[in-house]
Structure formats: structure tokens, C-alpha cells
Amino acid sequence: MPSTATTAHPPLPDDAAPAQLRAALEVQRAGFLASQPEPLSVRKDRLGRAVAMLVDHAEAFCAALDEDFGGRSRQQSMLTDIVPSLSALKHARKHLDAWARDERRRPLFPLGLLGGSARVSYQPKGVVGVIAPWNYPVGMVMVPLAGVLAAGNRAMLKPSEFTPRVSALFARLVPGLFAGDELAVVTGGAAVGQAFSALPFDHLIFTGATGIGRQIMRAAAANLTPVTLELGGKSPVIIGQSADLARTAERLVIGKMMNAGQTCLAPDYLLVPRNRELALIEELKGAVARQYPDLLAGNDYTAIVSDRHFARLTAHVEDARAKGAEVIVVNPASRSPAPASGRKMPLQILRNVTGEMSVMQEEIFGPLLPVVPVEDTRAAVAYVNARDRPLALYYFGSDRAEEQQVIGGTTSGGVTVNDVIFHVAMDDLPFGGIGCSGMGNYHGRDGFKTFSHARAIYRQSPLDVARLAGLKPPYGAWADKSIARDLKK
């Protein structure tokens, strides 16, 4: 239940007006200011309440996810939304004492010898806005929230309108566990999202498409609100000559077909040695058959979230086919989707793709997998570097020199070697993009620092340091001596 330091407030209505959003923000800011400084035990209590909400209502969240997607297995929702959220929250609670300690720094010589001291103190920023996407609508709320709460902030959450049952569940559960000046949930469509992003938060984190990220950044700029943007992009896979193709295919299929490819870190396209292309495709077909023997009719495979997104993916395939691509549909049981799961789409491998095809220009976010043959690793690196910097990059192979050529020769948000996606599961690694794939990072200690203000604190010596340094007027020989001492190479 809400702590005694907070005051209960009614939940925000659906499609709240800008004035109501601003009022909710002011309630949180007032609560934040009135409570400072808060002991770490209060932060741990909030993290604990967030853990309890997920543990107590995990089945309800999974059921809501299944309905919102039109077909999503309980096990997948547990493994990709609930469990990672719990891991992030518990990790923050466990390590908060260490993260929150002041850091000692070395004062400028000779101030330390004269009795001066310097330190960095991490203090909460205030009120943080969290705008979450639809593809992992629980995890992309709760994982950043772990850092937000650990840093001592209050938060306003804007879950996606494309997963309305999950959003409604958050809106119903949060007021029972958190006071309005601790945590608030805002539901609604694009207009509410625009008004939300225009609020003068102390920090704003957005996860979603690059185009929307630009709009978020413009809105935040009006208030000089610092932003963390996780924007996705076309994450490449570079496959070396030394890669074990069977193992590579197995791991690629797990990452690509998880959530039906509706993952910001999903492998977007493959760069494979020309002499290994056909062998890899055969291994991919076999891996799909083993993992999803009854792909479209089974319960393990997720549906595309909406008719609009299904149509977008279909248009990519039609565009590629019309421009000369070979489309290989991997549907092991050769079945049609079950009537209740009509938006399930099988994996479609695309060969002979070109840069003129829309599937090679936009983030795919679905079960389409272009394969691009290259002559060697150098050519693969050049291909990646000729495009926007991706959120993730993957390398498969056992040649350490080749691996270093890939990692050292490219820039991406993160890297996983000999697998895909797993770097995001490491609570102690920063997660974020670079360039068009985002800015800033969070997770673990890095999230704590992102949502904290690193405050420099210097304590002066009782000695007359200004005179000793020649800074005290009237200037004279002592100042000249101090200047001469520093004017040396």
C-alpha cells in the first residue's frame, strides 16, 4: 500500500486533457519537493510494491497481452515481459545502497593536500515521464521504471494505446499500490501522447519508432527536458566463415521469431558469405520446423498486433517480390492460421534484395528476414557502416580476429556475439542506441545514473586558498608566480 509519506489521489481519466496532465505532474512535483531528502528505504519500498504488483497479477497481465495481440502465449509473456521486469526491479533493490553512495573525487592539486575535498552525490531529478511501446507493453514500462524509482524519482507512465487491455490493467492496479504523487498512469491515444510529451518533466524516456522519437525530442526541447530515446532500427547479423551454421540458425530463429519479430532488437537482415547463403537458408528452415512444428495453428507463436501492422508487413513482401526478390515462406505444417489467430504470419526469407525495396529501408518489426550475400567480412562491415547506426549488431563465428574486425569496425547501441538479443537481458550492461537508433541508456547502475542528477560538491579548506593560488586581488607577484608555474608544457 502507499507509504504514509504520500497522499492518495484519484486515477487520471482516459484521454485526460492537457490541463489534467499538467495538474497530475504538479501533484507529483509537490510531493517530491515536500519529501526531500527521502531515505533509501522509501525507494526500496516502492520497488518492492512494483515487484508485488507483477507477482500478484502476472496471470492477469499475460491474459491481457494474449487478448491485445490476438494470440500470445502465456509462457512467452512471462519470459519476455514479466520475468525481465522482475529481474530489473529486484536487481535495483539489491544494489541500491551501493549505487547511491557518494563518489569521492580528487581535488585539483594542491587543494586536496590543503584540506579540500570533492565528491559526486547522486540525487533524484524529480518527475520522470515514461512513454512505452506496444510490443512489450509490460516490460517497456517496468524495466525503465526500475531505474526511475531506484534513483528516487516520481513517475508518470504512458502505456501504448495499441495494447489497451494492458494499459487499462496498469491504470486499475497502480492506484491501489501507489499514491498519485508517487506513480500515475495516463491512458489514451495520439493526442494524449502529444500532450504528455509536451509536459515539463525533469526527464523523459521514450521507446518506439525513430519518426515518433524525433517528435518527442522536439516537444521536450521546448521545456529543455532531457530525453532518453530507444528507437530501434535495422539491426544486422554478420555471419563469418567460421560460424557453425546449424547453431547460428537455431539462435537466429529464436530471436527473430520471438514475438513474431515484433522486437526492437530482432535480427533485421543477415549478411552472409556468398558461398554459405543457401546452406544457411536450409538450416533456418530446419530450425523453424523444430521450434514451431505447427507454427500457425500452435500456441507458441505470437500474432501480429493489429491489422494495420499485418498490412504493412504484407506490403513489404509484395514490394520486394515486385522488384525481383525471391520470397521463401517457411510454414512447416503448411497450415493456414486458426480462425481466432488470423494475424499469425509465417517466417518469410527474402533473397536477392536491393536497397530500393522498402523492406531494406525501414525497420521490419515482423517475421521477414532479408538475406544479403557478401564477399567477406570487410564487405559486411562496409555495408553496415553505409547505413544508420543500428540499435544492435550481431556476429556469429569463432575467428577472434574477424570478431574484432566486426566489433572494432562498426558502431551500434550494443553487441551480442554468437547469439542475438541477449545483451539486453544483462541487468548490469547499459542498454540504448546511438544516432538514429536512440540516445542515452538505462538498465542497472546505468539506469540509476541516467535518472539521477550527478551533483558536484566541493568542500573548501579553512586556509586562504584564493591567496595561495594568486586569485585574490590585488594581483601581484604571487599571481604571476602561480601563472608562470602553470604555463609550462
Q: Do 28 and 85 contact (CB within 8 A), yes or no?
A: no
62 is catalytic: no
Of 62, 182, 230, 402, the active-site residue reads: 230
C-alpha cell at 206: 521514450
The label of the residue with cell 525530442 reads 217
Number of Cβ within a 10 Å radius of residue 318: 12
Residues belonging to the chain: 489
Contacts of 401-406 with CB under 8 Å at 24 or more apart are 402/240, 402/241, 402/242, 402/377, 403/240, 405/377, 405/378, 405/381, 406/238, 406/240, 406/377, 406/380, 406/381
Contacts of 257 (CB under 8 A, 6+ apart): 288, 291, 292, 301, 347, 367
Q: Do 309 and 318 contact (CB within 8 A), yes or no?
A: no
Number of Cβ within a 10 Å radius of residue 459: 10
The alpha carbon dihedral of 423, 425, 428, 429 has a sign of: positive
118 in the Ramachandran plot: left (φ > 0), alpha (ψ -120 to 50) or beta?
beta
356 is catalytic: no
Of 62, 182, 264, 403, the active-site residue reads: 264
End-to-end CA distance of the chain: 63
Q: Which residues are catalytic?
A: 230, 264
